Structures are given as structure tokens and as C-alpha cells.
Structure 1
Amino acid sequence: MQSSRRLAALLLAAGLASVTPLHAQSQAVHGSIEGVVRDGTGAVLPGASVSVVNLDTGQQRTLTTNADGGYRALLLSLGTYRVKAEMQGFKTIERTGVTLSAGQTAVVNFAMEVGGVAEVVSVTGEAPIADPAKIDLGRTIGEAEVKNLPLVSRNPYNFAFLQANVTGYENEEFGVPRINANGIQMHTNYQIDGNTNTEKDRAGLRLLPASEIMVREVKLITSGFAPEFGHTTGMVYNAVTPSGSNDFRGSASYRFRRKAMSERPFFLSPTAKKPDTHVNNYTATLGGPIVKDKWFFYGGYEFVDRDLSADRVISVTPANASRLGLSTTTIPAAGVIPASQSVNFFLGKTDYQLAPEHKLSARYFFFRNESPFNIAGGLNTVDWATDFHDRMDSASTQLISSFGATRLNELRVQFARRHQSRTASDGAGTGPAITVSGVANFGGPIATVSDAGFDFSQKIWQVIDNFTVLRGRHSFKVGGDVQIVDDFRRNNLFQLYTFPTVDAYLAARSGANPRSYSTFAQLVGDPTVAYNSTFLSLFVQDDLRVSDRLKMLFGVRYDLFKIPDARPFAGNPASSKFKVDKNNFAPRAGFSWTLDSSARTVLRASSGIMYEPPLINFYEDAIQRNGDPRTLTATLNPTSLGAPAFPATLSDLPPGFTRPLQSIVTMDGDFSTQYTILSNVQLERALTSDFSASLGYVNSTGRNMPVLVDTNLVPTGLTLADGRPIFSTAVTSATRVNQNFNHVDTFRSIGKGTYNAFTVTLNKRMSHGFQAQASYTLAKGEDNAPLTGTYVVGSGDDRLSDPTSVDRDKALVPFNQTHTFVLSALLAPKVAGTGIGATLINHNQLGFIVQANSGLPFNIRANRDLNLDGVQNDRPIGIDRNTGRLGRVFNVDARYVRFIPLGTRLRTELFVEAKNIFNTQNVAGVNRVVAVDAAGNPTAALAFPGTSGYLQRNIQAGLKLNF
């Protein structure tokens, strides 16, 4: 850690010696306008009056230029602005059409001419496309793109893949896409209006979902973070909600999907019928003034009714169903699990200018998802069906206050929560769960800990306060963020009978042999756990305008992650307490340097440390499995003492039951916070006033990456042919460090990773009816810290293959894509005139997204535990981690809209959009398990048949009324 701090200090010193970023990105949901006022000779003009007016809301900010002729208007609402400069003895000059997006700093400089104040010189135009005030690597998905790019899923989180250095795969509904940025498969820092929207227990989860009605813009950042940002080593995804304006504006829409509008799912059995598709989606929005120029409101509502049975085909054969006596309720005539989804979104927001120096905003967001029969198909039947209930909401307020012309304060307070549970579906079975191996699953819906009876909630209280002082060329900012997280989980006390054959089940059911099962498993004890965590962050930074061409941003951030308290158990000394890492200091620096007087070429660079919050699930597992379990799974075979007669279950552990030797989970006593040294450089050149090209390089060096290691195993001295040590399943003093336990799975912070990427980006701002952005990334990410999908949602990695050496697993990260290309574009042609040609060409719009990449790797796994470490994670001899390839991915989404004006304020949209319009088969999963002999050699030629694909072509159509 000392070496990393020395390196960070050197990086900071280098940044100070050369110069660096700006405060633009530090305003999560706002923008700023700044510049310098000069006279015709180039001399600065102190004391000039600069007014900044939001043309949407009429709100105004008036400033006076400082001794260097500079001005800064911070924390401005998004929208279009008019900026005006006035000074006695000079003509008034104003610039209109200055558009602010989230986190943007628009640079507006003025050269005033000698003359009377009453004379006005007007200029129209946006800020330079090669933004001289931008240092981060990221992009803003603007309002036009959010509303008009194809998005059949209705899930704006899928827009994350429009950013360079991002890999993974989309979510087809309102779930969580698997986002990986900078080669690190940990947290994405999801935000709504700058407040946290990140679930804390596992990597990759957002708290609240989103839809178009609650998103005005999306701000994506993957590198070049100001000290204000943290809690990620990958991406900040900030969804900015809409606000009302001085005009009443609203919309109502309906969109639908049907069976004929979708293709057969890839890899569906040829004998299976095409699943049904039935989706209805309704939205409504309204915003406007309560008091003109002062008080505004916005409201939005969305309802989605979706049939999810398309991929829930039941594969139990009619012959087996008949022998088992399964009814038409258990296996419906349609042959599918009748899964569906009913989703409600609501957003209410108000913005109130309390006084010229105080602005208050308040927001409430609500989401509810009811998903009956929420299980997969295959061998499952309706007997096992559970209803999934998911409710999320958040309430937040923001107060922006100015104290004189040079001091500003931003206070944000939020409460957010998620509550999900499962209950038995109508028509579900009763009694214990039953599985006949390879035949069918039926009985009660209580086969796992997450079935009927499962309950989970997470509540987050958050307070953020940032204070800014303007002094000459400096903008000093200091702030803090406190998040208090409460977690509760109740698992289902499952009961599961497993039978080897249909005949064995029938013998037990008839009473002829009530113990003909293979095993009976039941969870007994207290299945609840509750704990809390506190995340504290502090930062200080300075945004320094060194000259008209050079800006710097430098500072330091401190993160303290107070994780849950341990549950001590005398037999496990490691459970006595969890270490809290208190030295998480993160210096950062960067610059933006305009290389030419025409402001067409900008060089940006930055470097700094980013800390990753620990995954709370690590600590939950260590609390639950500390050697003194609150719950215990009793697994009995028919001859075990106290084994029940089918269908009886246990009221407690049976008399004479021998508690199995425990395997425990612990946290390493020296477990430290994961961090990354993140550096980038980018050169952007404006080729025209609305078209630019960028070249960039990103390096990420990860340290203290968490790895789950079995620290109780002692090698036997035998090895596999490739040198992997072999262990023993017997528990003796010769095979275990501590004979009181079988396995001791310890989370250790010993992993390392690197990511290097070159990017090329082309950006065409909207003009002449066309806008587009395209990026290509050439990247390689490696690490020696595999984590499974238990902790990193969507990860296909297996556990460490050799508990004695993490370097044996040094390889490509599971979300590595060597080549990644993405293009998004909007085309709205417009010609003059009123003839037939103009009528046909005008009022049309085409939006499309093109994605092409070299595909993700996968880990090839043997079908047996070769090194006898008790984990089914071994690779065949001669095969390294993540050397399999799913194959290239090519996908085109498209959206066509025909606008029909209905008077001066009303407009109807008729639209159709498609996911995977060319129905290209892209492989998402394969059978990666290889049959091997006892020595680990494959017994047949390697083949990895596809088992699943990304979404087939899906078409959605609808209409929308705007006013």
C-alpha cells in the first residue's frame, strides 16, 4: 500500500507540474458556464456584469468578472441559456443557444467592442465541440437520444454500452445489465440525480430500475474522475431526471409486442413450439409551471404488462407426467410456466426558487414489480412456482444556496429502499419439494433458500454536502457523503426429497417403500440475518484556470467503509472482528490544455486512485458461516438415523443426528480495500464546428483485489501433470491446518489486475438533421482474482483453481473484449418547401445502434474435482483460465418514427423499433464442461455447443402524443 501511495503522490506532483482537469464533472446533475471577458485589444475587463438566463425556466444568475476578467456560474439547471456581458463604455454582447447537459462546463468568452451599452451584439451558437473544459472520459446520452434511440427493453441502463471501454451484455427487461468498465468486474456507481442508486451487497447491482419517463439525460464517466466521485473502479452511471419549465409539456404513449413480431429464441429445441410474446406498455408525463419563473413540477407514470412465458417451456415428457400423476394444473396444456410481469413506475418532482439565493428541489420515485410464476422452465413444473414481489422507492431533496457572489453550498438528502420477497403462486404445490432426477420437479415451492418465504430488504440513508468558494482563478470545493445502509435477509427453510427414478417415487408415494429416496435435505434453525454498514467519504479539490488555454483540477478524496460487525465464535478466532481499513486516501490530478488559439485541439490527461467499496455479501457469509451456524442443512439418506418416511419432514434435527464437520467463511485479518490507479490521456480535434475526432489511452492497475481462498487445505505432496497440488478429502492433522473445520474459505485482498485500452471516437453533434457518435476500443484486461457469480452478478468465472497460488489463474478477465465497436445515430432529414417531396421527407426520424465486438471469453471446466479441494472448478490439463471464446457479436437495433403535427402544439408519433433487426445469432452461453480422465486429460475432442443466445429479433410498435 505504501508503494501505491508513493506512486499516487508522484502522479499528483506530475499533474501539478504540468497542469490538469476542471470542475465540470463535479456537478452531477447540473452544468456550469464560465469564461473571460476582454476588450478589443485582448485586455481583460474586471467588473463587467455577466447575466446567465435559462430560456426554459426564466431563472437568471448575475455575476461580476474578477480581476482577471473571469466569471463562473456554477450549479446551473440543465437547458438552453442566453449569456450576456455588459460594461459602461462598451457595446452589450450576448450569446444564445448555449446548451448545458449534465456535468458539462460550457466556455463562453466575450470580446467587447467600444460603444454604448444600449447597442447589442448578438451571437448564436453552442460551445465548442472539442470541449476545452472537459477532462473526463465519458459521454452524455442527451434527451433526444434517450427518447429516440431504439430501446425495445425500455431499460436506459443498456445505454451504458454506448461508452468506450465498456463491455458486458444488456438486460432484456428492467433488470440489471452486466456492465464491466476498465476491465474491473466490480461496482458500477449507479446514481439518480447524483444520489446513490447502487445496491451494496453484490457487485453489478443497481438499487432502483429506470425507464424513459424518469430519465432526461444519462451521464457516463469511466476515467478522469474528480475527487468528488468515488465508490467505483469502473463507471459512474448518473441518470438525470426531468424537470418542469415555463411551458406545459406532456405526453401519452402506448407500445406493444405480439408473437408474430418476435422470432424463435436461438437454441430453442426444434420440436418446441414458438413461445408466446405479449407486451403492453403505457406511459404518461406532464410538466409545467406552478408559478412562472419560480416554481415548477414534473410527473411521469409507466405501466408494463408483459408475458414472460416465451422462454419458460416445460420439458417434462407427457409419459413421465402421466406416470407421476401430475395434473394439468401442474403442467398446463400450453406446456409453459405462465410467467408474467406487471410493472409500475411513478416519478414526481418539483423545483422551487425560494429566493434569488436559494433553490429547492424534491423528488419521489416509486417502482413496483409483480411477477407471478417467476421460475424457469425445463424440468420445473407449476408446483414449484413462486410469485416475485419487488418494491423500490426513493425520496430526495436538494438545496442550492449562494452566500454572496463567491460562495455556494449544495445539500442533498436521500432515503432509498428495496424490498423483495417470494410467496407461493396460485396452484403451486404443497408439502416438501420433490425432484425425480432428470425427470421432473414438483411438490411444494420450497426447494432452495430463495423460494417461497424468502425476504430481503436494503435501506439507504444518504446526506451529501458540498461547499464551493470562488477566489480569483481558483474554484475551491470541499464536501462529504455519508451513507448508512441497513440490510435484512430471511431465507426459506427448504425441504427437498430427491428420488433416483419414477419407480422409486411411486413406491414412496404408495407407502410400499417410504424411504426409497436418494436423499432428503432440510434447512433448520433461524434463517434471518440483519446488519448495517456506514460509508463515509470526504474530498477537497481545486479547479484552477491557469490561463485561457489551460485548466487544472487536483485534490484528494478519503473513503471509510465501516462494514458490518462480526459475530464472534470462540472456536473460530477469525470471527472475533472484521478489519476496517482506515487509510483510503486517493489523490487525483488532471488537466485540459487547448493547444491552438482557434480552440480546435484539446489535450486531456488525468491520473488518480479510485477505491472500491467492499462487497457486503463477503461479510454476510462470514457472519452466517462462522462455525456456529444459525441454520444447518440436515442431509439424510434412507439409512441415516432419524431419516423421515416420505412425505414427513423434520421438526428439528433428528435424535442422534451427527452434525457434519463445518466448512466456514472468514475475512482475512489483513483484508484491505481494493483500489485502482486509473490514468488516461486523450487528444480531441474539432474537424468542423460540429464534428470531432478523439484518440485516447486508458490504463488501470488494480491492487488488493478480493480472492476467495481455502486456507485450511494442506497439499498431499502429489501434483497434477501441470504442477497443481492435490489435496485430500479426509480431514486429519496431515490434510488440514485446523482439524476443527473441513474447509476455511477466506476472503483475501491479494489479487492484482491490469487493463490497457486504446480508443478512437468520432462525435457528430446534431446539425442538418443528423447526429452520431462512434467509438472503437482495442483492449486487454488481465487479473489473478477470479470471483464467481455469487458475488459478481453475471460473472462466468470459477473459484481459484489452486488455493496455494493465485498466479496460476492469471489470465484474461471474464469480460475481456479485444475489439469493441459501437455506433449510435439519429437521422431526421429536412428539406424546404411544402410540396409532396417535402411532405414525404420531412417529419421522419431514424435512430439506430450498431454493436460489433470480438465476444467474451469463458472458462473451460473439467467434469471432476481433479485436485480434490472440494470445489468443482478445475480445468483440464493444459488449459488456462478463460481461454474459451463465445465468438463474435454483431447486433443492429433500429427505430423509425413518423411525426404527424396536429396544430401548433400537438404532435403524434407513430413508431416501430426492433432489437437485433437482422436476427443475427449471437452466442451467450455454451456447454463448457469437458469430460476428463482421473489425470485431467480430455477423453474426447473439445467441443462447446451453444446453449443460449442473446435476444433474437423483437419488434415493438406504438404511438405517442406530445403537447
Structure 2
Amino acid sequence: MIRSALRSFVAAALLAGCVCTAQDPRGAILGRVTDQSGAVIPGVAVRATHVQTGVSAAATTNQSGNFSLPFLTPGVYRIAAELAGFKRFVREGVEVRVSDAVELEIAMELGAIAETVEVSAETPLLETAHASLGQVVDQRRVLELPQRAGNPMELTLLAPGVVNTTNLRLRGPTAPEALSDISAEGTGRFSTEFQIDGISNTVNDRGRDYSRIAFSPPATAVREFKIETSPYDASVGHTSGSLVNVSTASGTNELHAQAYYWAKNSAFDAPNFFNNKAGTKKTVSQNHRYGAAAGGPVYLPRLYDGRNRSFWHYAYEGNKWGVPQTNTNTVPAAAQREGNFSELLRVGSQYQIYDPATIAAAAGGRFSRQPVPGNVIPRSRLDPLGVKLAALYPLPNVAGTADGRNNHFLAFSGRQNYYSHMVRFDQAFSENHRLFVRTHYGYFQNNNQLDNFNSPVTAAIINQIKRGVALDDVIVLRPSLVLNIRYGLSNADFLERRGSRGTDLAALGFSPNLTRLIDGRFATLPRVQAGGYTQIARWQDGDGGSSGLTHSFLGAFTWLRGSHNLKFGADYRVYRTFANRFSESTSPYLVFPNTYTRGPLDNSPAAAIGQELASMLFGVPGGSMAYTASFAMQDQFVGLYIHDDLKVSSRLTVNVGLRWELETPMTERFDRLSAGFAGTVSNPIEAQARANYARSPIPEIRPENFRVPGGLTWVRQDGLGRSPFRGEKNNFAPRIGLAFRLTPKTTLRAGYGIFHDSIGVSKTGAIQTGFSQSTPIQASLDNGLTYVATNANPLPNGLLAPLGPRGGLTTNLNQSLEFYNYHRTHPYSQRWSLNIQRLLPGQFLAEATYVGSRGTRLGVDREMNPIPAQYLSTSPVRDQATIDYLSFSLPSPFFGIDPIYGRNISRGALLRPFPQFGGITMQDDPIGYTWYHSLGG
């Protein structure tokens, strides 16, 4: 597959290419040259000179009088046209913008070439060369408009049809998920392609089900960027219909430098509403953003003068944030840490704590427990480790609610630092050969991420490291044929380390049976969750690191032939993501339930708070501990396209193109992937389970009808390949558009296109069930009649071994499963639009636009192990009878087959089609669809 993709790329690079495409970070000038009678003039030399750099690009009109100057760096140009027998034509001030095509009509006058006709006119505002829709954000807006933490990518929201789909407060340069989380003209979240200088700027660096921006450049490094919301150019791909392309700043013939400093200090802030309401002080914080940028010609005295050909540009930005954080927490009162919950009982009897050691059989198959006298746990019953865990909480410092919730308020300033650099060098070897190279680096550190209590012990330290390079070469092979070759790499590393690394778990009170399961060098405080009380020692992705890496290769030509402006070329990419995380391998995740401390019956409503903390103090744990497999994922992407901008007449341009995309199914370096679910195959435990069931059947299922089918499958097993889904090879994407000049000041534009979204590494996480293995912490296997796990020894039988394919169909018994639909297909969107532009006096442009979109084959997660519908309630209100019916405890036919099963099972679980498992989720089943319509100006 790799060799085939490379052959496709090389063939396209040699045989085809692209003009200044919508996926290119530069612009183009094109047009037609005529004489005063309107007759076309072939052989005219047309030259565009960048005013600030002096770099020129040249073309010659063909037999149809047409010319094309592609791959022009954004900026202001001087246009000159000359031919013997005609006066020299000069037009000043033609501005070229990113991914733009400026169309000029040049009328030459008869006369001597020594004579010059100078034309002074505004750059045309009407878009007459294409039907694509979008918004350019120029350098002035980038530098002057307010941005969160100096993040220019936030300005994508200026484009019509683009909406934010996340918390606006998160849209800083160090929150790439938030920056990528937009929707453009009906596309789904995380479906926009982001590029810098035409190079992919997206990675999947954490194995999530979405791609994200790899790097947000400093504002002073951005020349301008464009958000294309309906790009009908066939060169645009790897997106469901929208593209953001950043053009970076380059040096000029003059040396320019700038420096800036921005500060925000809470001393100038007034207390907010919540400060006033709680009677607390405002959060103390200081934010500092500073940077510098410089650029100019490469100049070495007496050695080299690079004016008009060699340029450099460097930009730096530093950010030091004192991030204001206000946390309202719920913590145990001093008396509760010692087992005294009597204050809760004064609030209401629903807060009664029940003794987990007093269980007895009750009527109707239920179990009962006795209340703890006075809601005070005897000191002799307090678990030593439970008391130590409760002591990790700070004491209350505000009144909170009557039952003690929201009784701790903390305002503090977190520390975050971010630094970014970008360097670019440009070289114009001649009018026919131009090259640039760029590199960037960014570093971020957050010292108290996810810390509810501002403690270095319970915090997680997070780092991001971002790197990238780009190389772009433009060669004019002959006046009508231009070659562009591009390579780029985008990389983002995401590292995390918990502040409690190196914790002595034995000294804390855990038994040798647990501590032997953990490498002491990486041991951390356990993550603790006790119902409504605030969680202790959270993490984001877990200790360790993950990384995303994207290679981009593009080869393209422009070929101007008659009235045809042909573009055809190849886009080849390699997406990789790596992870080595051990979040639940460094300590158990303790989730204390109210299962054994509520009553009087086991199905009685739970208290709003208190009973989970009582479980901690009684030493009745829940939760899990897991081994998380590492992974190294990869897929390859190839896009081939041909596109023609046909100049039908001076008033009508038709854009027509076809794109084909191939995304190889993702693979893992060592084949550590589960692949699917065999739903009709008998599970190996079925015979014993059926025999057990026959001894105590239920009326709903006759013994002969009781089945235990299904189980996981893996890649490279049973005839499957290396991928969890097969992929497809017929992703063709036609594009068509037209731009028609109704009058000299009015243009009508319309377009239609199909866009295929990705299902590869950039959008798909690794499912490694069987290679990653979670072991549940189960205090009791018989509804509390006996207890087998304690706080100190939560896993008496050790950890379940990750067996991978060796576990066969018995993998994850009594636990949840997830898998991809093996026959999943690429989602795609159809987009169509109609746009009218009218040029008004004073160089104002008014426009009205309609955009429609239809999303098809969108991935939907489906539950494959539901309780059959005939047993569910149709009541619009809580149906306690149905709840009691489905939760009724029955003898488990799986008890004794595997230690993971308890003595009892609920009726609802027994009625599932695959009763040996919990929830079973088929991810990304391609059955979803959307409709979108918008009208605006």
C-alpha cells in the first residue's frame, strides 16, 4: 500500500500539478490582455513585482491572450505588461491575498514601447474568478483585534458561517482542542482542515477521536490567513468542507523590527458577582505577554547583498499567566472525618448512614441493612487508610448548604508559561525560481492543572512541546507551466506528570499485595472519588506522554492552455500518533459507592451526600486499576485531483474539478488493536452458564432459549487484516462552480462540491481492549453478605492479565466492550451555495449568500447490548415498578465460572442479548446524517 501510494504521488508530481490553489497559502494574478478594440493579444510579457521585496514573477500571454501568475506571496504588486508596437502598461497597487485569485483586464494602446500608460485603480473587490466562499483575516486585524492570550486562530470566528462549539475562555494558543473545535457551514466539530503555508497543521497527539491544531503561531508571524467555508477547488481535501490556511510573514527589502508588551493585573479588577455573593476576595492574578519580531534582507557587509532576493523573518512570543481560578468544593467536615455524621441526620432522615456489616435477606429478593446509631461510626469500625484518605481534604472554610455541600471556596492564581518561536527564510533565485523554508517551536508548562485544592501533591504538571518545518519550492518551467513542490512536518507532544509521583503507598497504609503491583518509582496518590465530595488527585490523560506527527508531501503544476487554467496534482500525507500512558497503573482509582451504606433496603434511594464517605471510612472500596497499553498508530493519505478554471467569456468563468482520495486503514506497529465483535459465535463459557441457568430460570427466558453468544475479535486473527476496519477506495469528490459578471458592478457566483472526511489516525482513537486491561475493585461478590476487598487490599486476586488475542471471546467478561464497525465508511458532505456581490460607491462591497449542506454516513455510537424494549417503561415519569423489576437480584448463571462474576445478577442484565458482558458499543456506525441551511450577507 505504501509503495502504491508513493507511485501515485510521484506520477502526479511528474505529470500534473496545481495553480495557486485554495489549499495554497499564496495568491494568484490572472487575466486577459486585449487591445483597444477588444481583440486579444498573444505574446505579451506580463510581470508582477512585489512592492516590498522587489521579487518578480513573469508570464507571457497565450494565443487566447490569457496569462496566469500563480504562487504569489501575499502583498501589494506592481503589474507591468509590454509588447513591441504597444505602449508599456503599468498598474500599481494590486493587492494579492492568501488563497485569492485577482482577475485583471489589461487593455494596451498602440504606440512605442518606450511610452508608458500608468493605471491607478483599487484592487478589484468583486470575485470574478471562482465560486468559493471564505473570509480573509489580514495582518492589521491579526495585530489589532483582541485575542485571548495572543492567539490569532481565535479570529477564525470572524468568518460568516463559522461558530464556536466550545468554551470561549479556553481558546488560547495552548488549548489546541478548543482552537480546533469549530463548525463551519454545518460541518461537525473538529472537521476543519488547518494549515500553515499550505502544510497540514493538524495532529492527533493523544489518541482521541478528533484532530487538533498542532501549533498556533505568534501574531507577529502571521501575514494573513483565510477561512474557506465553501471551497470548490478540487485541490482542497482531507476535510468535510472547510479550510483555514495561514500565510506566515516574510522579510522585505527594508529592515523592520517591533517589540510589544501586554499586561493584565487583578489589582485593576473589581470583585465579580460571585466574590460579592460569597463574601470572598477577588482572585489575585497577573498576565504578561511580550514578544518581538524582525525581518529584512539577508545582508553580509562586503560579502552578500540579499535585497530583491534573500529575506529572513523571526518572531517570538512569551506568555506568563497567573491564571485566576476559583473552585467551590465539597469537603468533609472535621467531625465527618472521624465518622460522625450526626449533623446530617439533623437535616433529614434521608441522610441516615447504614451499616454495611448488618445485611440480611428481605422480602421480594431484596436485602436490608441496619442504621448506624446516631449516624456515628464507632471508632473501632473506622478503617485506618480510609481515615488517612479523608484527611487529604482541606477543612471547610465557608458555610455551604445545610447538608455541607459547597463548603470550601478557593481562589488562587495558577501558573502557566508558554513560549513560541518562528523563523522563515525566502530566496528568489530568479523570476523563474523561488523557495522558502520555515521552522517553529513552542513550549508550554502548566504547574497546577486539574488541581482543585492548589496543592503540589494533588496537582498534575502538564507540558506541551510543538515543532514543525516547511519547505516550498516554485519553479517556472516555461511561461505556461509552473511546478510547486512542498514538504512539511507538524509535531506536538503532550506530557503529564502527577505531583505525587514517588508516593510511598506502603507508608500510606496499602498492603504488600497491592504495592507489589506498582513500580514504586512511578507510584502516586490514588485518585479518590466519594460521591458528591470533590475528587482528589485528578489527572487529564494520565502519567506519561503522547505525541502526534504529520508528514505532508505535495507536488503540483499549473498549466495555462488557451482559456483553460488547468491544475492537477497530488497530496500525500502520513499521520502518526504515539502514546505511553499509565494513568491507573501508578495507583488504584478508588470510587467509594453508596451501595453498602444506604438503606433500609438495597434499592432504597441514596442520600445526596455522606454515604459514600461513610463507605471510605468503613473500608468498603470500589473503582478499578488498569494496565494501559502503549500504541504507535499510522495511516497514509493520498489525494489526486484535476481542476480547470475555464474562462468561457470575459463575463463568465466556470470552475470544474474532480478529486480522488485514498486513506489507508489505520494500523498499529505491533498489531495491538481489537477489531470487532463476533455476535453469533458461541462464547466458551456458554455451556457451563446454560447448565447453571437451567437450575434457576426466569419466566422471561426458557432454559432452552438461554444463550451466551459473542465476544471480541482482533486484527490479524480469523482472516482479518491489520486494521479494525477495511477502508474504501472509491472516494471521488466532484467540484463545480461559476462566477458570472451580471454587470460591471454585480457578480453572481454558485457552486457545488462533495467533501470526504477522515476516519484515519487523525480522527480515530485506538481501541485496545485486551491489550489494555482494567480490573474492577469489587468489595463484595454477594451483595454485601461477605466482603473480599478492603481499602488496604482492594485487589486481593491481583490484576487481570492483558492477554490480547489469547483471551479470545472471554476477554472483558462482566465488563463493557467497544469496537469499530468493520464496514465503516468515510463520512462526506455535499455543499452548495449561491452568492451575489454588488460593488457600492466608495469601494464598499455588499453581498448576499445562501449555503446548504448535507452530511451523510456520519459516525454514530450504537449500544449493541440493550435491555429488550418490551421490558422497558413507556411512562413519561419515573416508573419505580419497572426499576424494581429490572434491578431485582437473581442467582447469576455465571457465578463460579470466573472470579469477575458475583453470586447475583440483576434481571435487566440477564435479559440482555449478551448477558455475560456489560455495555457493548459499536463506535462510528455510519448511519448519521445532517441538513444545514443558512442565509446571510
Q: TM-score over 0.5 for the alignment?
A: yes
Aligned to 1:241: 248
2:225 paired residue among 183, 199, 218: 218
Aligned to 1:572: 712
CA 71–514 in structure 1, closer or farther in 2 if over 3 Å, else same: closer
Aligned to 1:416: 490
The letter for the 2-side match of 1:630 is S
CA deviation vs aligned residue, 1:752-772 (integer Å, no higher than 9, x gap): 110000011xxxxxxxxxxxx
* Partners of 1:256 and 1:172 in 2: CA distance: 18
CA deviation vs aligned residue, 1:847-905 (integer Å, no higher than 9, x gap): xxxxxxxxxxxxxxxxxxxxxxxxxxxxxxxxxxxxxxxxxxxxxxxxxxxxxxxxxxx
C-alpha contact (below 8 Å) 2:42/2:63 kept by paired residues: yes
Aligned to 2:913: 737
Aligned to 1:812: none
The letter for the 1-side match of 2:242 is M
Give the superposition deviation at 1:716: 4.2
Structure number with the bigger relative contact order (C-alpha 8 A, sep ≥ 6) is 2
CA 615–330 in structure 1, closer or farther in 2 if over 3 Å, else same: farther
* Partners of 1:120 and 1:154 in 2: CA distance: 46
Aligned to 2:347: none
Query: Is residue 81 of structure 1 aligned with residue 77 of structure 2?
Result: yes
C-alpha contact (below 8 Å) 2:210/2:762 kept by paired residues: no
The letter for the 2-side match of 1:371 is N
CA deviation vs aligned residue, 1:360-419 (integer Å, no higher than 9, x gap): 211111111011011153x78553201001111111111111111111111111121111
Query: Is residue 433 of structure 1 aligned with residue 527 of structure 2?
Result: yes
* Partners of 2:793 and 2:910 in 1: CA distance: 42
* Partners of 2:712 and 2:794 in 1: CA distance: 35
Aligned to 1:206: 213
1:652 paired residue among 778, 798, 802: 798
Give the superposition deviation at 1:642: 5.0
C-alpha contact (below 8 Å) 2:50/2:78 kept by paired residues: yes
2:419 paired residue among 334, 344, 367: 344
Aligned to 2:577: 487
The letter for the 2-side match of 1:416 is S
CA 91–448 in structure 1, closer or farther in 2 if over 3 Å, else same: closer
CA deviation vs aligned residue, 1:144-203 (integer Å, no higher than 9, x gap): 111112224311121111111111253342222431112222311111111111234433
Aligned to 1:705: 858
1:696 paired residue among 839, 844, 849: 849
* Partners of 1:617 and 1:293 in 2: CA distance: 40
Query: Is residue 607 of structure 1 aligned with residue 752 of structure 2?
Result: yes
Query: Is residue 285 of structure 1 aligned with residue 272 of structure 2?
Result: no
CA 24–695 in structure 1, closer or farther in 2 if over 3 Å, else same: farther
Aligned to 1:668: 821
CA 265–214 in structure 1, closer or farther in 2 if over 3 Å, else same: farther
* Partners of 2:274 and 2:395 in 1: CA distance: 27
The letter for the 1-side match of 2:660 is Y
Segments of structure 2 that go 5 or more residues without pairing to the other structure are: 1-17, 299-305, 339-389, 399-407, 504-523, 598-613, 668-672, 679-710, 802-809, 888-905
* Partners of 2:157 and 2:763 in 1: CA distance: 28
* Partners of 1:568 and 1:66 in 2: CA distance: 56
* Partners of 1:712 and 1:30 in 2: CA distance: 52
SS for the counterpart of 2:824 is coil
Give the superposition deviation at 1:701: 0.8
Query: Is residue 309 of structure 1 aligned with residue 309 of structure 2?
Result: no
C-alpha contact (below 8 Å) 1:101/1:140 kept by paired residues: yes
Q: After the TM superposition, which of the residue ranges 486-495 and 358-367 deviates more from structure 2?
A: 486-495
User: Where do 1:778-793 residues align within 5 Å?
Assistant: none
Query: Is residue 181 of structure 1 aligned with residue 177 of structure 2?
Result: no
Give the share of equivalent positions with the same residue, in percent.
24
The letter for the 2-side match of 1:286 is A
C-alpha contact (below 8 Å) 1:432/1:647 kept by paired residues: no
Aligned to 1:560: 662
Aligned to 2:481: 407
Query: Is residue 384 of structure 1 aligned with residue 384 of structure 2?
Result: no
Query: Is residue 624 of structure 1 aligned with residue 739 of structure 2?
Result: no
Aligned to 1:231: 238
* Partners of 1:265 and 1:128 in 2: CA distance: 49
C-alpha contact (below 8 Å) 2:210/2:763 kept by paired residues: no
SS for the counterpart of 2:478 is coil
CA 723–310 in structure 1, closer or farther in 2 if over 3 Å, else same: closer
Aligned to 2:601: none
Aligned to 1:546: 648
The letter for the 2-side match of 1:285 is A
Q: How many residues align?
A: 720
The letter for the 2-side match of 1:590 is G
Query: Is residue 273 of structure 1 aligned with residue 363 of structure 2?
Result: no
Give the superposition deviation at 1:736: 3.2
2:621 paired residue among 508, 515, 519: 519
* Partners of 2:437 and 2:657 in 1: CA distance: 30
Aligned to 2:740: 593
CA 50–155 in structure 1, closer or farther in 2 if over 3 Å, else same: same
The letter for the 2-side match of 1:40 is Q
TM-align CA RMSD: 3.5
C-alpha contact (below 8 Å) 2:570/2:640 kept by paired residues: yes
Q: After the TM superposition, which of the residue ranges 520-529 and 399-408 deviates more from structure 2?
A: 520-529
C-alpha contact (below 8 Å) 2:855/2:931 kept by paired residues: yes
Give the superposition deviation at 1:572: 2.4
Segments of structure 1 that go 5 or more residues without pairing to the other structure are: 1-21, 505-511, 761-963
* Partners of 1:734 and 1:650 in 2: CA distance: 27
* Partners of 2:294 and 2:500 in 1: CA distance: 38
Give the superposition deviation at 1:274: 1.7
* Partners of 1:144 and 1:310 in 2: CA distance: 33
C-alpha contact (below 8 Å) 1:227/1:555 kept by paired residues: yes
CA 279–578 in structure 1, closer or farther in 2 if over 3 Å, else same: same
The letter for the 1-side match of 2:43 is G
CA deviation vs aligned residue, 1:447-488 (integer Å, no higher than 9, x gap): 55723x142111111111112211111121111112112212
The alignment's TM-score, normalised by the length of structure 1, stands at 0.69
Aligned to 1:787: none
User: Where do 1:720-869 residues align within 5 Å?
Assistant: 720-721=873-874, 730=906, 735-747=911-923, 748-760=925-937
CA 464–287 in structure 1, closer or farther in 2 if over 3 Å, else same: same
Give the superposition deviation at 1:316: 4.2
Q: After the TM superposition, which of the residue ranges 244-253 and 30-39 deviates more from structure 2?
A: 30-39
The alignment's TM-score, normalised by the length of structure 2, stands at 0.71
More helix by percentage = 2
SS for the counterpart of 1:384 is coil
* Partners of 2:820 and 2:114 in 1: CA distance: 72
C-alpha contact (below 8 Å) 2:451/2:458 kept by paired residues: no
CA deviation vs aligned residue, 1:610-639 (integer Å, no higher than 9, x gap): 111126487535x323xx352213222266
Aligned to 2:731: 584
Aligned to 1:132: 128
Give the superposition deviation at 1:658: 12
Give the superposition deviation at 1:77: 1.3
CA 578–34 in structure 1, closer or farther in 2 if over 3 Å, else same: same
Q: After the TM superposition, which of the residue ranges 282-291 and 517-526 deviates more from structure 2?
A: 517-526
Query: Is residue 52 of structure 1 aligned with residue 198 of structure 2?
Result: no
CA 564–337 in structure 1, closer or farther in 2 if over 3 Å, else same: farther
* Partners of 2:193 and 2:615 in 1: CA distance: 56
SS for the counterpart of 2:457 is helix
Aligned to 1:771: none
CA 601–321 in structure 1, closer or farther in 2 if over 3 Å, else same: farther
Give the superposition deviation at 1:128: 1.6
* Partners of 1:239 and 1:384 in 2: CA distance: 39
* Partners of 1:277 and 1:110 in 2: CA distance: 59
C-alpha contact (below 8 Å) 1:337/1:376 kept by paired residues: no
CA 265–618 in structure 1, closer or farther in 2 if over 3 Å, else same: farther
SS for the counterpart of 1:717 is helix
CA 83–463 in structure 1, closer or farther in 2 if over 3 Å, else same: same
C-alpha contact (below 8 Å) 2:150/2:218 kept by paired residues: yes
The letter for the 2-side match of 1:281 is R
More strand by percentage = 1
SS for the counterpart of 2:855 is strand
